[in-house]
Amino acid sequence: MAEESKNNATMVVFDGDLDKAIASFIIATGAAAMGKNVTMFFTFWGLNVLRKEENIEVKDKNFLEGMFAKLMPRGPGKLKLSKMNYGGVGSHLMKKMMKEHNVSTLPELMELAQDLDVKLVACTMTMDVMGLRKEELIDGLEYAGVASYLSEAEDANVNLFI
Amino acid sequence: MAEESKNNATMVVFDGDLDKAIASFIIATGAAAMGKNVTMFFTFWGLNVLRKEENIEVKDKNFLEGMFAKLMPRGPGKLKLSKMNYGGVGSHLMKKMMKEHNVSTLPELMELAQDLDVKLVACTMTMDVMGLRKEELIDGLEYAGVASYLSEAEDANVNLFI
Amino acid sequence: MAEESKNNATMVVFDGDLDKAIASFIIATGAAAMGKNVTMFFTFWGLNVLRKEENIEVKDKNFLEGMFAKLMPRGPGKLKLSKMNYGGVGSHLMKKMMKEHNVSTLPELMELAQDLDVKLVACTMTMDVMGLRKEELIDGLEYAGVASYLSEAEDANVNLFI
């Protein structure tokens, strides 16, 4: 029984690059399809994966928070490749080549993950630090801190930092 | 018995930088020397570690695939450092300093890994997306997708994303 | 009993960026507070996190070692963000925003980690390669190689490469 419970998977999604986000959701949906409980914990730049694409006006941001929010990419459509991005040309080409080979897009993978009950958790501490508010992030998320991640990780044997 | 089998190690080699490739093969050969079954799963830029150094002409590539293949480094000799690469000076110096301290080179580590039966797996989905063909990669590889990686990861307690 | 011992946590701290270093120490101190034995293994650029801030003159360095030591950041105060560093402006702003939200600074997190008996291990092989000497690193470290890391990882279920 204790044995059984060690079969889950957790991922810390830290980087928030397009290619790493795609890799993390491919692993997450694959693991969920195999019947694992999967938790993805989004922190630091990884939070940008969860941002809504539209500009959400938030009144109570201070100057720094507003600036960070402006400079960071809003959602999957704006993410950059970790390599060979070439000002967005690389990420555009990568999406084109994925389409040609019928690989799901990042928004499709994210929807699939939610359909498969992959738990998407936004790290509240880094949300605070970066000045991101819940209304700027997509629906269906949970909000928690590192202790919650660690207690999930305890029951997992696959724990990745991406 | 179920216990025993949870002692393997898997690595997702994603980045394909010289320094990260070296680190991953040092961990892999170390783990194999301790008797673990080790599987390295090369995906995205990590596939470049497995490319042959010579230029392999592949007839049926489309324009984008040909361009990606041209821009991405061919094999261990062309990989860059993730930091302080300085247009190749950094990676040259790193190799020189490794040699001075009798640390194995990346090609030597890769050969050792294969001698120790470390399983080197190329991710077929990203090969498709990036237009890399089997004849462009070194010999002795296995070819598989994420489901195969996940079933190996199930039997491992060390699972790293590099 | 064998079961019990699989509850530890290990981290390979490879990158040595400010944000990744903060994330690794937040996870490490969180895990230690939950009663886990935590080992952080610093290698390659991660060693820079452990450098003393002052310039330590080391007599027997060769030219390359001296140059690397000069170019690499000395300790937590000099680390860069992995993204949006903007020549140091980004890392300065990140520290400011962390302070505003009462998040511990990296030096505070490192002290806390040592108070909580998190084992900080410097990788001797990469110290050799990069020409870093024990007297250049902070006190309270252990010194070991990859075999030692792997034997710790054997008893852990959370193993991250950061």
The 10s digit of each residue's pLDDT in C24-33 is 999 999 999 9
Other residues' Cβ atoms within 10 Å of the Cβ of residue A90: 19
Residue C3 has pLDDT above 80, yes or no: no
CA distances to B85, B87, C46, C53, C104 from C70, in Å: 15, 18, 16, 12, 28
Q: Are C75 and C44 in contact (CB under 8 A)?
A: no
Answer whether C93 sits within 8 Å of A68, measured CB to CB: yes
CA distance A161 to B11: 12
Ranges of residues in chain A with a pLDDT under 50 are 1-4
CA distance A129 to C25: 16
Nearest beta carbon to residue C101 from set A128, A149, A159: A128
Nearest chain C residue to A11, by CA: C160
- Residue B7 three-state SS: coil
Q: What is the pLDDT of residues C45-99, one digit of tens each?
A: 999 999 999 988 888 888 888 888 889 999 999 999 999 998 999 999 999 999 9
- Residue C64's pLDDT is what? 87
Reduce the secondary structure of C16-82 to three states and give it as a string: CCHHHHHHHHHHHHHHHHCCCCEEEEECHHHHHHHECCCCCCCCCCCHHHHHHHHHCCCCHHHCCCC
Other residues' Cβ atoms within 10 Å of the Cβ of residue B39: 25
Phi and psi angles of residue C87, each rounded to the nearest 5 degrees, phi first: 65, 25
Q: For residue A150, list chain C residues with Cβ-Cβ distance below 8 A.
A: 27, 30-31, 34, 158
CA distance A29 to A35: 10
Ranges of residues in chain B with a pLDDT under 70 are 1-5
Q: Are A121 and A42 in contact (CB under 8 A)?
A: yes
- Residue C159 three-state SS: strand
CA distance C50 to C111: 12
Chains that touch A (3 or more CB pairs under 8 A): B, C
Residue among A122, A126, A120, A127 nearest A144 (CA) = A122
Nearest beta carbon to residue A64 from set C9, C96, C160: C96
Answer whether C160 sits within 8 Å of A156, measured CB to CB: no
* Position C39 confidence tier, pLDDT thresholds 50, 70, 90: very high
CA distances to A57, B124, C32, C54 from B140, in Å: 55, 15, 42, 49
Phi-psi label, residue C75: left if phi above 0, alpha if psi -120 to 50, beta otherwise? left
CA distances to A155, B157, C15, C56 from B38, in Å: 22, 11, 23, 40
pTM for this entry: 0.95
- Residue A2's pLDDT is what? 42
Answer whether B158 sits within 8 Å of C150, measured CB to CB: yes
CA distance A156 to B1: 19
Residue among C141, C130, C145 nearest C73 (CA) = C130
- Two tokens, residue B70: 């041209």
Other residues' Cβ atoms within 10 Å of the Cβ of residue C100: 14
Q: What is the pLDDT of residues A47-57, one digit of tens each?
A: 999 999 998 88
Strand partners, C52: none
Give, for A157, the enclosing helix (H) or strand (E): strand A156-161
* Terminal C-alpha separation, chain B: 29
- Residue B2's pLDDT is what? 42
- State CA A125 to chain mean position distance: 15
Q: For residue B129, list chain A residues with Cβ-Cβ distance below 8 A.
A: 94, 97-98, 101, 103
Q: For residue C19, list chain A residues with Cβ-Cβ distance below 8 A.
A: 14, 44-45
Nearest chain C residue to A130, by CA: C97
Residue among C142, C138, C133 nearest C106 (CA) = C138
* Position C151 confidence tier, pLDDT thresholds 50, 70, 90: very high
Answer whether B159 sits within 8 Å of A158, measured CB to CB: yes
Mutate to test the interface with B, among C17, C80, C150 (most CBs of B within 10 A): C150
Q: Are A155 and A8 in contact (CB under 8 A)?
A: yes
Q: Are C19 and C81 in contact (CB under 8 A)?
A: yes
Q: For residue A98, list chain B residues with Cβ-Cβ distance below 8 A.
A: 129
Sign, CA dihedral B120-C147-C135-C92, equals: positive
- Residue B7's pLDDT is what? 85
- Residue B5's pLDDT is what? 57
CA distance B111 to A15: 31
Architecture of domain A8-161: 3-Layer(aba) Sandwich (3.40)
- Residue C5's pLDDT is what? 57
